[in-house]
Structure 1
Amino acid sequence: DQEITIRDFQTAYQAQINAAAAQLGTVPTPDQAISLGIPSQVISQLSTDAALNILGEELGLGVSDKRLAEGLRSVSAFAGTLGTFDRDVFEQVLRQNNITEKEYFDTRREAAKRQQIAQALFAQTPAPKVLGEIVQRYGEDRRILEYFLVSELSLLPISAPEDDVLEAYLEANQFLYRTEEMRTIRAIQLSPEVLAKNIDISDEEIAAEYERTKQSLVRPERREIKQVSFSSDEMVEQFQAAIADGKNFEEAATLLDLEVSELGRLLKRDILDQRLAEVAFGVDLNEVAVGPSAVGQRAIIVTDIEPARTMTLAQARRQIAQRLALARGREQFIDVLDQIEEQRAAFIDLDKTAEEFDLPLVEVAISVRGEELVEPLNLDPAEAERIANAVFRSEIGALAAMATLGANKSVWYDLIDIEEARNQDLEEVREELVAAWIAEQRANALEEKANGFAEQLKSGQNLQDIAVINGLFPVFSQPLSRGGDGSADIDANVAAVAFLGGEDHTGTAQNGNGDYVVFRVSSVIPAEEPLAPEDQDFIEANYRDNLFSDFSIALRDDAKLSINQGVLNQVLGFGPNGSSQPGGGLN
């Protein structure tokens, strides 16, 4: 017998939880882990490994310490800065994973035994030859189709239905025609930026701040830049020769029929290409420089340089005023916030609070997503959704708590009206209902027509005759794979149906454009090239892996596995009865 300890389970379970969290972007709860099948997967893997470990012990398999040490040195996770094994890194990784050195080597020793079993039983087992042939035929066979298209152009117009038909259609599809629940709120927002809009900064304050900070109020250098791109080294040489002969930048470009691109008057930080930025801000005025670009070579020239200079008071006035107002807004923020909270606790109307502190009061009806709040409150979508979630948990007349959106951003609101979600009636949705009904009728008619042609074809009628009689055009496809023939007509959807049969197989399938393809497989082109060696190796490896997996599962099933359900539920965070708070346990 071999016991799977609580620690074994916890270690493997946590590894699976971490993998799921990386994929989902959030750590699964115990209930979610069960819905994902994680506990069952862990138990299955651990019990399979245990069954193989028992067999390894019965066979007297083992691995030497020397072999384990050699394997340890090849693990890249334990390598230091020099790329070789580093014991400090090794110990750090073990600590991070809550594993002792003995547990690590025991785990590696058991894994080595399982690998020996797999090697001994299946390493020399070849995959059946027919398996490679099937894979090759599946991937490389081609078909040529004789086909015609059945599109909506072949249908007669469909008139709008009577009201009784529309009423019945609306009743059958009422779930598509419902209003959203909307909630109307009145809201104010407080932030340093909001407060700053109402703060006046005097000319004297601006002038004083300018004198204090003018050394930092520098307008960076700007350069007017032009460039041409070259398609070959030969063209670079010809351009440079033209410059050397006295031609200017534009003349040399015109001589070689090159287009001059005007990049504009730019700051260095405006240029995303770092190589271009370094060259453009390193050359002299009207100097031509040739250098590499992302797609080849290019030449640039700087035609004007606006030097860096200290901003005047007039130029810096607005910037300084905004900065000072924002700083004062930050100073006032906490005090104003406390006063608003006091007024809310005293049930003072929100409009009076907004008026006292000169804050914009907005009234808006919002959906559960809150997108209607983005513009009036200047929120990002995530912030708006957070407010909406709170609103949809609120009740009319109840004092809603302050919604904090960051260290310096808060919103207060009153819920004043709720418009419940409801079914829409015919007059509200008549136009879109008529369009949907007609679209459905046309889709049904098109499918029925294509299926009728397919039945005629199946009964033995000639494809070309069917097409010509109905004013359609029969054509032959290019040789197609299971992905289609590269055209819009024969895509993967059509190819999938065509590959269900061999030569003279008939059928119909809808392509991505919504047209139906009625076809007959005119010919099958079998794969001729042998399977590539790397593909054959892949098949062999997977075949052996599957054999070993089947063997391992059978070995596990023959062993007697018992689970202490109470302990398992406690490890997973459930109560003794298998219930979480709330939710269900592992059953």
Structure 2
Amino acid sequence: MAEKKKTKASNVIVWAVLGLLILALGGFGVGQFGGSLSSVASVGDREITVQDYATAIQGEQRRLQQQTGQALTLQQMQVFGLDRAVMERLLATAALEEEAETMGLSVGDAEVAERIRNNPAFGGIAGGFDREGYTFALRNAGLNEARFERQVRDEAARELLQVAVAGGVQVPDTYSATIASWLAETRDATFAIVSVADLDGGALAPSPEEVQAFYDANQALFQTPEIRNITYAWITPTDLADAVEVDEDRILARYEELASEFRQPARVLAERLNFRDQATAEAALTSIAAGETDFDTLVEDRGLTLDDVDQGEIAAADVDEAVASALFALEEPGIAGPVATDLGPALYRVNAILDATETPLEDVRDDILAELARDAATRRIDAARDDIDDLLAGGATLEEIAAETDMILGTIAFSDQSEQPIAGYDAFRAVAATVAEGDFPELESLSDGGLFALRLDGIDPPATPPLARIRAAVEQAWQEDTTARRLSEAADALAARIEAGETFAEAGLTAETVTGIARDGRVEGISADLLSRLFEAEAGRVLAAPGNANRAYVLRLDAVNAADPEAPDTAELLTAIETQLRGDLTSDLFDAYGQAVRADIGFEVDQQAVQAVQSQLLGGH
């Protein structure tokens, strides 16, 4: 059966986003640890549940994979001590939550609701909050609404505690100025390109003996990867979505279900800065009106950033009546307040006023249709899972499975370089890389709700083709290698002549001078590595470096330019450095505070419970 092409991409689909959320919450096979096992550690009266620990471990695995591009197993994490680091973070978080509760720090229901509504993972087709999707995502992640909302409230309380502990951190002026001066230094340089035309005899052609010698010495360069010849059967919701018929009444009903997303009330984009009392808030407003200060300065003076005070989009229903009256009384962006809030009197800066909007059905019909069709296709695949499993258990071949079900048969010569659509799924790659000849095909899940099963038909081991078959490639590799070596040697010789006193012209080179090269700057054609060497050299030094197979460089450092403290760019850099350093110091201070709190409250770790969770996670892989 011909393989179907997988190139059609869906539009914004709610369930796909919710599926990613479920992954982020660790909702696959985490919640059933059985028996009386409920927690792995405790800090004071606060427990760290097995679900919390398993979710954190899986979240760390996903974070590391995103950063490195490689999936780490739990065993590899244990070797590097990453599992212990996860536990340390959970203990610190629990200690800070316990401390915040002891101190009576909390936020109101309105703040919790606002954070949940503004979470894009709970967004529907039109981007607004999807109540049904919220419930669905939490249920599939093994959470209930009360528990998740308690987590949101605890997180908000920790943020309040962090502002209280580390909000006034300042960076020493000399420290930030020294870093800024170092970063803002520039260089002036003269450089020239050494090309193949500058080599004696130009490009060379290899003799048969040289080709043979190069092939014999560099066989690994021409080796083909191991090829795993695989037959597979698979199906995805995309394969079935086009064949699913969706009634127009169902599209209209879904549109009405999501009416709150398609009919947005008037909103404002605002920031909030709280004050300890009404008099202080009114004094700040007076200073702003008089032009003596501004909102940004007030935020900075408190050791905060604009991210700390950002409230996002606010509708009248999201806040207390007094706050809504102040915000929506403005006819244009500006300052509102002081107004009473749960955290004391506050000034709001309204940055934009958004009119109420309504999205007609015709604008979102295709998106709703795609969502419903994909949902129906996913349910159809789920319903077929048991039947396909039964066929495999009964000894049916993949060819027979494809003939009797919606699954599609295909073959792949699998390696790390495979680019067929099914090779883009991590789950398929993991099984394909480890399956052995004779293994019975098993039904596996794909990240988009699809299914697959595969069979290893044979393995072609890595091999170097005979020279006769790849002679052209060997000759090209020899030429590139030889030319690069000759260019590097020529550049070294020319650099030595120039450093000894010759000009670029006397050395037969056409030079170009570039001034004001920044430390993170770029010069067309010159590698970042060579520019980095330039910033390590002394004025007058001449450097030589390879470029690519067809060129090399000779470069002279003409001048080292100190940073101009009065330049606007330097001032901006200094501000950015101070912000970064303040963030780092704040984080370090808060971490130290968390450790002290944990030590004061006391904690216990149940190593047997930890090992039990890890064993189940290992078993799940």
TM-score (norm 2): 0.46
Report the TM-score when normalising by structure 1: 0.48
Q: Which has the higher contact order (CA 8 A, sep 6+)?
A: 2
